[in-house]
Amino acid sequence: MHLELRTRRLALDQPLVMGVLNVTPDSFSDGGRFAATEAALRQARKLAAEGAGLLDIGGESTRPGAAPVAVEEELRRVLPVIEALVREHGPPLSIDTAKPEVMLAASAAGAELINDVRALRAPGALEAAAASGCAVCLMHMQGEPRTMQSAPAYGDVVEEVYAFLADRIEACLRAGIELERILVDPGFGFGKTLEHNLLLMRGLSRFTALGVPVLVGVSRKSMIGTVTGRSVEARVAGGLALAALAVGSGARIIRSHDVAETLDAVRMAAAVTAVGDDNEHEGVQG
């Protein structure tokens, strides 16, 4: 299994960890911005050294209740980081955005993948993604970040998310984005209660029937906090358990803030998943 990025092919025979790089500076002064860019670059180098197979760069928080960011501001945050990282020839870069202008500018600067929590539903987003030549990650979200956690409701959460992702894959194909460039993500925590998130994890293998690689982002999320009672900084172990379960259910990319630890969990889960296949293969060969 593989994914066609903008300029290269990403092998997914072994599951990968996508490192999270948030560039959301608090200070709007030049000094603050320079510091934010430098801090993001330091973090990117750390995640790359830990073994990240992709780096996901985001200039707008999607947390519940987060304030929207203007196009110009988002570009000012992410472009210097993308430009600097492209020069360093590290892991392929993903741009976490829902805005067509940011998709186009980021891919022109060197991003290889567009990660959109709105699954290219903003006006012009499908066209921008197709024109960029990037791979795309289509994520499910019920509602809008500002209000999505107020009263999420589903009949059958797995089937509804599945139908949404199937529909968005169709929309991409119609827009000229090839199947080999598409990833899907059920969107843990995006318009979902704890029970919805747990049901999605339990039913995750269903999404492999969509015929494209599955990405999962659970790192440090509130579902871990609710079950374990841990604060955001103390949710790594809970996230590793979910990462291992996700890989066991067929996920090929795990989006995480804690790359070194997650890579170990992913590798162990992948080794367990693969051993049966190897035995069968050896058995056939005698």
Task: List interacting residues with ligand HH2 (CB under 6 A).
Answer: 20, 22, 58, 61-63, 96, 115, 117, 137, 139, 185, 187-188, 215, 217, 255
What minimum distance in Å lies between the beta carbon of 241 and ligand HH2?
A: 16
Here the tokens at position 260 are: 């070194």
Nearer to ligand HH2, 231 or 285 (CB): 231
Residue whose CB is nearest to ligand HH2 in the complex, by number: 217
Which of 118, 221, 235, 252 is catalytic? The answer is 221
| Reduced 3-state DSSP string for the chain | CEEECCCCEEECCCCEEEEEEECCCCCCCHHHHHHHHHHHHHHHHHHHHCCCCEEEEECCCCCCCCCCCCHHHHHHHHHHHHHHHHHHCCCCEEEECCCHHHHHHHHHHCCCEEEECCCCCCCCHHHHHHHHCCEEEEECCCCCCCCCCCCCCCCCHHHHHHHHHHHHHHHHHHCCCCHHHEEEECCCCCCCCHHHHHHHHHCHHHHHHHCCCEEEECCCCHHHHHHHCCCHHHCHHHHHHHHHHHHHCCCCEEEECCHHHHHHHHHHHHHHHHHHHHHHHHHHHC
Nearer to ligand HH2, 70 or 271 (CB): 70
Tell me the C-alpha to C-alpha distance, in Å, between residue 189 and each of 84, 151, 183, 237.
Answer: 31, 12, 18, 18
Nearer to ligand HH2, 20 or 85 (CB): 20
Task: Return the half-sphere exposure (C-beta side, CA atoms, 13 A cut-off) of residue 24.
Answer: 16
What minimum distance in Å lies between the beta carbon of 253 and ligand HH2?
A: 9
Nearer to ligand HH2, 215 or 246 (CB): 215
Nearer to ligand HH2, 48 or 117 (CB): 117
What minimum distance in Å lies between the beta carbon of 275 and ligand HH2?
A: 29
Where do we find the tokens 């795309």?
Answer: 136
Annotated catalytic residue 255: yes
What minimum distance in Å lies between the beta carbon of 230 and ligand HH2?
A: 15
What minimum distance in Å lies between the beta carbon of 225 and ligand HH2?
A: 13
What minimum distance in Å lies between the beta carbon of 137 and ligand HH2?
A: 5
Nearer to ligand HH2, 125 or 275 (CB): 125
Amino acid symbol at 67: A
Q: Which residues are catalytic?
A: 221, 255
